[in-house]
């Protein structure tokens, strides 16, 4: 049961995800979380670096769709200037929004990676829907109340994985 919380990969940030490496693995699409994955949860717009990352993915033929539990206005305001599709009020970790995002991209599950900063929403949802998952370190250590609660549970799960030798990275 706990293996559903185990990401396939762990990186420090989205900027450590290389489109060439993705393409070598047959990846043609990314489903990414927004808050604390792309920008801090309280930042409205994409940074210059994030804009460049989206352009890099596009230039390499990798489609990106943003998936967020946040409300439409928040996700739309961030996504539209990037020209990227999005799914709002996703109700992660439920599988439905992940499947919707894959359909929007017109890609198969094995051609997509899911990127996010939370085990209880992004990784669990991505794994449950059958995608390859990449966990990133949260951009900031502050969170909304519900996420703070999730993080306390995540720490326990991560400690379990560490003790069992299932993960080798350290918390940043």
User: How high is the pLDDT of residue 172?
Assistant: 44
Instruction: Give me the pLDDT at residue 81, please.
Output: 95
Dist CA 100 CA 38 (whole Å): 20
| Residues whose CB falls within 8 Å of the CB of residue 63, separated by 6 or more in sequence, listed in order | 28, 29, 30, 57, 105, 107
Q: Which fold has domain 2-163?
A: Rossmann fold (3.40.50)
For residue range 27-42, what is the model confidence (pLDDT) as tens digits?
999 999 999 999 998 8
- pLDDT tens track for 151-160: 788 888 888 8
């Amino acid at each position: 049961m706990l293996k559903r919380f185990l990401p396939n990969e762990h990186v420090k940030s989205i900027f450590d995800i290389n489109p060439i490496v993705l393409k070598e693995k047959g990846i043609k699409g990314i489903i990414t979380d927004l808050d604390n994955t792309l920008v801090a949860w309280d930042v409205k717009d994409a940074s210059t670096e994030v804009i460049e990352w989206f352009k890099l993915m596009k230039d390499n033929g990798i489609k990106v769709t943003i998936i967020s539990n946040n409300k439409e206005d928040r996700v739309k305001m961030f996504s539209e200037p990037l020209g990227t599709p999005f799914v709002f009020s996703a109700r992660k970790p439920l599988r439905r929004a992940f499947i919707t995002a894959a359909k929007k991209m017109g890609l198969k599950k094995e051609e997509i990676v899911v990127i996010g900063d939370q085990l209880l929403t992004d990784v669990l949802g991505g794994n449950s829907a059958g995608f390859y998952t990449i966990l990133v370190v949260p951009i900031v250590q502050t969170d909304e109340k519900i996420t703070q609660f999730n993080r306390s549970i995540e720490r326990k799960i991560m400690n379990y994985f560490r003790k069992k030798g299932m993960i080798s990275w350290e918390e940043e």
